[in-house]
Amino acid sequence: MDIEKYRIVLGSQSPRRSQLLKALDFNFELRVIEIDESYPSDLPTHDIAAYIATQKANAHKSSIADDELVITADTIVAHNDVIYGKPTSKEDAVNTLLTLSDSTHSVYTGVCLLLKDSLKVFTVKSDVKFAAISEAEANAYFDNYNPTDKAGSYGIQDWMGMAKVEWIAGSYNNIVGLPTAELYSELSDLLR
């Protein structure tokens, strides 16, 4: 992969995405441009994260340099065709966790790779099975971990993942927020 000739820009304020990109031994700078993260109501569930990731990348189009590669991403949680983004309040977070309790949900991360003259988008899906979560546990989780910046109101890398995830199918890092193996593969294809 000929990535050395590019300056990598991560268009995300997620500390978890930064950690995962660092773990891939990539040097990068953060450059976040705030966008409207709404999406068309008729968009299929599996396309929503990619749509938002693309909107994030498009915000960089006018300012990207010839030698820059911009990586943007978005993660959503879906359960019974309902989308659970970042919670708007403690009540919202607790209700989400109780909804996901003792059931399986899907985590979709859409990733966009933007070069000056091209754009590549892909989505990775992982399934997560939660054990039963009591209202007391959901409240304590919110108070102790403040998951206000996490889709689905939880982080798989903290207490919720340790205590309540019975199994996952797919990429663990995708659930954290960036599917690193798939990202590496897609970058290799793009920069070949």
* Type of residue found at 166: E
The three-class DSSP label of residue 81 is coil
Quick one: residue 185, left, alpha or beta (phi over 0 = left, psi -120 to 50 = alpha)?
alpha
Q: What are phi and psi of 119, to 5 degrees?
A: -140, 135
The number of C-alpha atoms within 13 Å of 108 and in the hemisphere containing its C-beta is 23
Phi, psi of 25 (to 5 degrees): 65, 30
Beta strands 28-30 and 7-10 are parallel
3-state DSSP assignment of residue 147: coil
Let me know if 80 is exposed, middle or buried by CB neighbors in 10 A (0-12, 13-18, 19+): exposed
Distance of CA 61 to the CA centre of its chain: 21
Catalytic, 74? Answer yes
Q: Which of 36, 47, 74, 189 is catalytic?
A: 74
- Catalytic positions: 74
